[in-house]
Amino acid sequence: MRLLFSALALCAAVLGRAADKEYPLVDAQEVRARGGLPNFFLKAQTTGAEVKVGYLGGSITAQNGWRVQTLAHFKKAYPQSTFTEINAAIGGTGSGLGSFRVQQDVLSKGPDLLFVEFAVNDGGAEPRDIIRWMEGIVRQTWKANPKTDICFVYTLTEALSPAMLEGKLQRSASAMEKVADFYGIPSITLGMEVAKLAKSGKLLWRAPWPKTDEEKKAVGDKFVFAPDGVHPHEWSGHVLYTQAIVRSLPALAIANNAATAHVSNLALDPANFERATLVPITAAKLSAGLVPADMATDAFAKNWSKRLPAMVRLTQPGQAIEFKFKGTHCEAYDVIGPAGGKVAVTLDGGKPSVVQRIDAYCTYDRLSTFVIARDLPDAVHSVRLELLADPIDKAAVLAKNKNKIDKPERFAPLEFRPGGLLLVGELVP
């Protein structure tokens, strides 16, 4: 997952730098308190309260780093309360998928505080899309519970650091600031100290953690941030991230004697993803003979049961899934990997397009999505997803990332393994 993420981050950085000239960047500031976190602090200070903290993000949040360390800080700072974690981090994913899965992965568990971390994974996305996705997360959260506090946090990578070295937030974080400012959501820039060290020449963006005396001598007084320029070492880069949050908390502790309901009547962008929803693939029409996997007993499906609401494995050419929906956007949420095949996607009876469910990083299985249609008229649309018999030169696919086929039997099948439909709208009969 880290190799995939590093490549995505590099690509995002290139695209981001090209577009920075066309999109105004926001001045970097460690904390913007705005409306603060009044409900969180009120509950945290209540004896016997159970406080739930949600973490929605990518692989940097998935690490045992700032997420684990901030929860430990809360437990120590407020011993009179009980803190539990809602870990909703998935590596290599951004706020687009986050807007579809926030209900299932976070809101269904009743968070009191929600941290949202997608600035790195959204590095190559268009600001318009970022705003719609992040606003969708905000509006869904407050629709579920107006008293849930939200905090945006912005992480950093070597590839995305040029803007920060000039005192500006990267393009993705700058777009997120528009949402934060509109809704009064606090934001914390976790990489201020990282950028300061980098600018002074005291940071090693990518290096293994020095263990021997010789390795420590070679590093000298440099701060070793991460092994790959992306995912911080838990005991160095992640500590800087956690310290930034801890320093910012006093500014967010706005005094309030009663819980405050957040208001979200107006919209920054009327086309935001408030209507984004994750629908089990089993709600669609399945070809004869297709049987949904038992998520409790099927060994493969069980591995993904925390994220995918269901799973159907298409293994024979011609097997298909069909459905209709009323809305403006549609994606498939599936597992790609060595056994991936090709899928013919037909929208509204038009000419099919072909989507391949294996890429250069597929030496292992991972969650993924693909867009079926976007920016559609808000009307009823029909979709057919059919597994094809078309062969794939998987060795050539893997070679693009210098990977090789290890066991031919792993790569021999041609499958499609969807678990959900991502809709801005709803299924219709």
DSSP string covering 235-294, please?
A: TTHHHHHHHHHHHHHHHH----SS-------S-SSTT-GGGEEEEEGGGSEEPTT-----
Residue recorded with tokens 């078309």: 390
Say yes or no: 309 and 237 in one domain: no
Of the candidates 221, 252, 283, which is a domain's last residue? 252
Say yes or no: 326 and 295 in one domain: yes
Say yes or no: 60 and 168 in one domain: yes
Residue 10 has pLDDT above 50, yes or no: no
Residue 266 lies inside a defined structural domain of this protein = no
For residue range 62-94, list pLDDT tens digits in order: 999 999 999 999 999 999 999 999 999 999 999
Residue 12 has pLDDT above 70, yes or no: no
**Which DSSP symbol is given to 332?**
E
For residue range 349-361, list pLDDT tens digits in order: 999 999 999 999 9
Say yes or no: 92 and 157 in one domain: yes
Structure tokens at 304: 């993904």
Residues facing residue 416 across a β-bridge: 314
Residue 258 lies inside a defined structural domain of this protein = no
Say yes or no: 243 and 348 in one domain: no
Say yes or no: 233 and 356 in one domain: no
Q: From CA 355, how far away is CA 364, in angstroms rounded? A: 19
Residue 261 lies inside a defined structural domain of this protein = no
Residue 322 lies inside a defined structural domain of this protein = yes
Distances (CA, A) of 107 to 94, 116, 215: 17, 13, 45
User: In total, how many domains does the chain have?
Assistant: 2
pLDDT of residue 260: 87
Residue 17 lies inside a defined structural domain of this protein = yes
Residue 263 lies inside a defined structural domain of this protein = no
Say yes or no: 234 and 347 in one domain: no
Edge-to-edge strands, sheet with 187-189: 31-32, 187-189, 149-154, 113-117, 50-57, 82-89
Stretch 163-168: mean pLDDT: 97
pLDDT of residue 23: 87
User: pTM for this one?
Assistant: 0.92
Residue 67 lies inside a defined structural domain of this protein = yes
Cα radius of gyration rounded to whole Å, the chain = 22
Say yes or no: 179 and 300 in one domain: no
Q: What is the CATH number of the domain that holds 73?
A: 3.40.50.1110
Say yes or no: 294 and 381 in one domain: yes
Which domain, by its residues, includes 406?
274-428
Confidence of residue 21 (pLDDT cuts 50, 70, 90): low
pLDDT of residue 256: 72
Residues facing residue 167 across a β-bridge: none
Q: From CA 49, how far away is CA 230, in angstroms rounded? A: 36
Stretch 398-411: mean pLDDT: 96
Say yes or no: 95 and 34 in one domain: yes
Say yes or no: 231 and 333 in one domain: no
Contacts of 343 (CB under 8 A, 6+ apart): 354, 355, 356, 357, 385, 386, 387, 388, 416
Sign of CA dihedral 19, 23, 28, 33: negative
In percent, the amount of the chain with pLDDT more than 70 equals 95
Of 17-31, 54-68, 92-106, minimum mean pLDDT range: 17-31
Is 54:114 a contact under the CB 8 Å cutoff?
yes
Q: What is the CATH number of the domain that holds 389?
A: 2.60.120.260
**Could you tell me the end-to-end alpha-carbon distance of the chain, in angstroms, rounded to an integer?**
38
Stretch 188-213: mean pLDDT: 97
Residue recorded with tokens 């360390």: 69
Say yes or no: 161 and 206 in one domain: yes
Of the candidates 193, 219, 252, which is a domain's last residue? 252
Reference 424, options 368, 353, 373; nearest CA is 373
Residue 314 lies inside a defined structural domain of this protein = yes
